[in-house]
Amino acid sequence: MSNQTFTVSEVSDIIGLPASTLRYYEKEGLIPPVERSEAGRRRYSLADLEALRFIECMKATGLPLTEIKEIIDLSQQGDATIARRLEIMTAQRDAIREQIARLEYHLEALDYKTWYYTTALEAGTCAVPDAMLAAGDVTKPDALRVNLG
């Protein structure tokens, strides 16, 4: 890996985090203590940037910082913790897949309503898409159906 280092400002630009967040992550042990220049300024390595990318990626999945920290701490403990790390990642992946399925379910409703209003706008009336529904040419998605049984 390169010996190139980056200032707080450069890391903020590259990763998209404010300096206060970078300092917080270091204080909380999410990243190891950052090297300092002779003037005492933080100098981030490529490994630090990769760690920050990992943290931000995991945060974007909804994983709380406490669990991200647990993964980081476990990884520093070595191979004996692989099973626990896998458990955390699998649980989060499964949660994301469930969320995607729920979003796709509701996206069908949005697609349907977009079709409905586009058709109504083109016809100048809601009677046209309503007639198509009544004739069975189009069906409502499950998200918009009332199930009484």
Q: Among candidates 97, 22, 85, which has minimal Cα distance to 56? A: 22
- What pLDDT digit, counting tens, does each position of 118-138 carry? 999 999 999 999 999 999 999
pLDDT of residue 145: 84
> What is the maximum alpha-carbon separation in the chain?
78
Amino acid letter for position 85:
R
Domains of the chain: 1-76 (1.10.1660.10)
Q: Provide the whole-model pTM.
A: 0.79
Q: Could you read off the pLDDT of 20-50 as tens digits, one per residue?
A: 999 999 999 999 999 999 999 999 999 999 9
Give the relative orientation of helices 46-60 and 65-76 as an angle to the nearest 10 degrees.
140
Question: Per the structure block, which two tokens stand in for 145?
Answer: 């159906």
pLDDT, mean over the chain? 94
